């Protein structure tokens, strides 16, 4: 079969290569096509993944392609991890709203920055999906690109019905939290529900037990040292703990993503004093690193990438970044679809279809699922508590409005989506931010400037 990776400069490409090799019996003889518009990143990815596949001794045909249309022809699976000018635009996504009084801690998936991010990426995916309709109309689309809930809403409503959203936040963060509590990743099994990067814990059990350990887990979290304050090089959970103490609910993930959807995050004047690393500072620092790296030879860039990745694995948590628990799941889903062997996923972004009782049935949610019978089917998780449900419901409405606005070039709906955002306080503020984003991203949003 033919598997295409669009945005092959991403390290998610390495996870796909690893997964293809892990199930060599199924993928033997398959073609894995790497696509990227950046020739340097594409070459680095090709060299890195070719070495890995050769080391594993698996007969997978790997090639690189800058022409997306050539790559997509006849594809069975298309994996997405792509966007334009990611870091420079992220900086603008934070700076532009700040001019109008809206300070964002993260600004990637929620808030005004998340909306601008979605506007650009949906516009990009409109082109890619148009190509797929002509060249590989039966392919499965497997997406890693953020903002996940926005782009998956676009896929389901206008772009591609056979689309799945993969994110490691629920699986990865609860593996890390297990380690923080002195357990191994996978010792805790959980049921969560919500939207991507904003899931809520509904039940949790120790592996092999038929009794809920929710009370034990919440008590352990409340007294755990890693939730009491922000620690260096450890995902921040202090805001998570404050939500738990005040509302009795555990929001799954880390403070940086949770804060994107909540207007009651700490005031921006306190972020630095509380020990948080500011996203804007981190993005500017990373942009400088990327610019310096681009001037170097391919070999030097490859060495720097390898060193940066190993440095990431030296963080206190996860203790072992190569632990099987933390693997990405797209190739496992491919295997289940091909073999019809049932596969359980603790979270994936798909239509609700009754998984969460008190959210819209057609909303794009992040829920447990089974891969069986040629489909990925949501599993009933139950009701969200009223507080969590209302926060998710508003975001779902914003996702729907913005997606429709981008596809139909409806500026009025953009303003509606912006005005509904919890961080925006007034209609004038919403209008000013929308106008500024449309001007800054004229090239990426041509439909609004015809």
Summarize pLDDT for 396-427 with one digit per residue, the tens. Answer: 999 999 999 999 999 999 999 999 999 999 99
On the question of pLDDT at 298 being above 90, the answer is no
Q: How far apart are CA 302 and CA 95, in angstroms?
A: 31
> Per-residue pLDDT tens for 35-83?
999 999 999 999 999 999 999 999 999 999 999 999 999 999 999 999 9
> Per-residue pLDDT tens for 201-220?
999 999 999 999 999 999 99
Q: Which residues have C-beta within 8 Å of that of residue 64, sequence separation ≥ 6?
A: 8, 33, 34, 35, 36, 42, 43, 45, 46
> Per-residue pLDDT tens for 381-398?
999 999 999 999 999 999
Q: How confident is the model at residue 33 (pLDDT cuts 50, 70, 90)?
A: very high
Please state, in angstroms and as integers, the Cα–Cα distance from residue 85 to each residue in 25, 38, 68, 425, 444, following that order. 38, 11, 18, 29, 10
Instruction: Report the percentage of the chain scoring pLDDT > 70.
Output: 99
Say what the pTM is: 0.96
Q: Which residues have C-beta within 8 Å of that of residue 111, sequence separation ≥ 6?
A: 97, 102, 104, 260, 261, 421, 422, 423
Q: How confident is the model at residue 299 (pLDDT cuts 50, 70, 90)?
A: confident
On the question of pLDDT at 95 being above 90, the answer is yes
Per-residue model confidence (pLDDT) at position 313: 65
Closest CA to 173 of 296, 318, 31, 46: 318
Q: How confident is the model at residue 321 (pLDDT cuts 50, 70, 90)?
A: confident
Per-residue model confidence (pLDDT) at position 30: 98
Q: How confident is the model at residue 301 (pLDDT cuts 50, 70, 90)?
A: confident
Per-residue model confidence (pLDDT) at position 304: 79
> Per-residue pLDDT tens for 216-275?
999 999 999 999 999 988 999 999 999 999 999 999 999 999 999 998 999 999 999 999
Q: How far apart are CA 243 and CA 369, in angstroms?
A: 27
Q: Which two tokens stand for residue 84?
A: 């334009």
- Taking the CA atoms of 191, 194, 199 and 201 in sequence, report the sign of the dihedral they define: negative
Q: How confident is the model at residue 312 (pLDDT cuts 50, 70, 90)?
A: low
On the question of pLDDT at 109 being above 70, the answer is yes
Domains of the chain: 2-87+105-166 (3.40.50.720), 279-312 (no CATH)
Per-residue model confidence (pLDDT) at position 297: 83
Question: Over the chain, what is the mean pLDDT?
Answer: 96
Q: How far apart are CA 243 and CA 194, in angstroms?
A: 16
> Per-residue pLDDT tens for 144-185?
999 999 999 999 999 999 999 999 999 999 999 999 999 999
């Amino acid at each position: 079969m033919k598997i295409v990776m669009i945005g092959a400069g991403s390290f998610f490409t390495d996870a796909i290569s690893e997964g293809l090799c892990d199930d060599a019996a199924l993928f033997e003889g398959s073609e894995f096509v790497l696509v990227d518009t950046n020739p340097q990143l594409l070459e680095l990815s090709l060299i890195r993944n070719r070495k890995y596949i050769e080391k594993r001794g698996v007969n997978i045909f790997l090639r690189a392609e800058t022409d997306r249309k050539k790559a997509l022809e006849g594809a069975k699976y298309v994996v997405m991890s792509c966007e334009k000018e990611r870091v420079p635009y992220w900086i603008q996504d934070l700076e532009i709203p700040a001019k109008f009084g809206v300070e964002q801690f993260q600004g990637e998936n929620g808030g005004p920055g998340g909306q601008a991010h979605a506007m650009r990426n949906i516009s990009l995916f409109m082109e890619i999906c148009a190509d797929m309709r002509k060249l590989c109309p039966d392919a499965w689309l497997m997406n890693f690109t953020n903002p996940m809930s926005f782009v998956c809403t676009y896929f389901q409503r206008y772009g591609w019905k056979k689309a799945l959203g993969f994110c490691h936040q629920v699986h990865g963060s609860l593996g890390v939290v297990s380690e923080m509590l002195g357990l191994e990743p996978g010792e805790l099994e959980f049921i969560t529900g919500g939207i991507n990067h904003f899931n809520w814990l509904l039940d949790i059990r120790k592996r092999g037990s038929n009794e809920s350990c929710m009370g034990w887990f919440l008590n352990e979290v409340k007294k755990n040292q890693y939730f009491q304050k922000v620690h260096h090089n450890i995902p921040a959970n202090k805001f998570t703990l404050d939500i738990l103490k005040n509302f009795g609910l555990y929001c799954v993930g880390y403070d940086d993503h949770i804060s994107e959807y909540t207007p009651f995050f700490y005031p921006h004047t306190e972020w630095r004093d509380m020990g948080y690393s500011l996203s804007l500072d981190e993005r500017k620092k990373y942009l400088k690193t990327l610019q310096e790296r681009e001037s170097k030879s391919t070999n030097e860039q490859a060495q720097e990438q390898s060193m940066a990745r190993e440095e990431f694995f030296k963080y206190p948590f996860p203790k072992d970044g190569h632990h099987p628990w933390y693997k990405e799941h797209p190739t496992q889903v491919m295997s289940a679809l091909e073999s019809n062997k049932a596969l359980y996923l603790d979270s994936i972004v798909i239509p609700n279809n009754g998984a969460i009782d008190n959210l819209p049935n057609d909303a794009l949610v992040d829920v447990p699922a089974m891969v069986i019978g040629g489909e990925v089917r949501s599993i009933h998780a139950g009701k969200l508590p009223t507080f969590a449900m209302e926060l998710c419901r508003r975001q779902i409405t914003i996702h729907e409005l913005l997606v429709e606005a981008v596809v139909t070039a409806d500026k009025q709906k953009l303003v509606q989506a912006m005005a509904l955002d919890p961080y925006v306080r007034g209609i004038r503020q919403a209008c000013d931010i929308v106008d500024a984003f449309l001007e800054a991203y004229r090239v990426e949003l041509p439909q609004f400037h015809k």
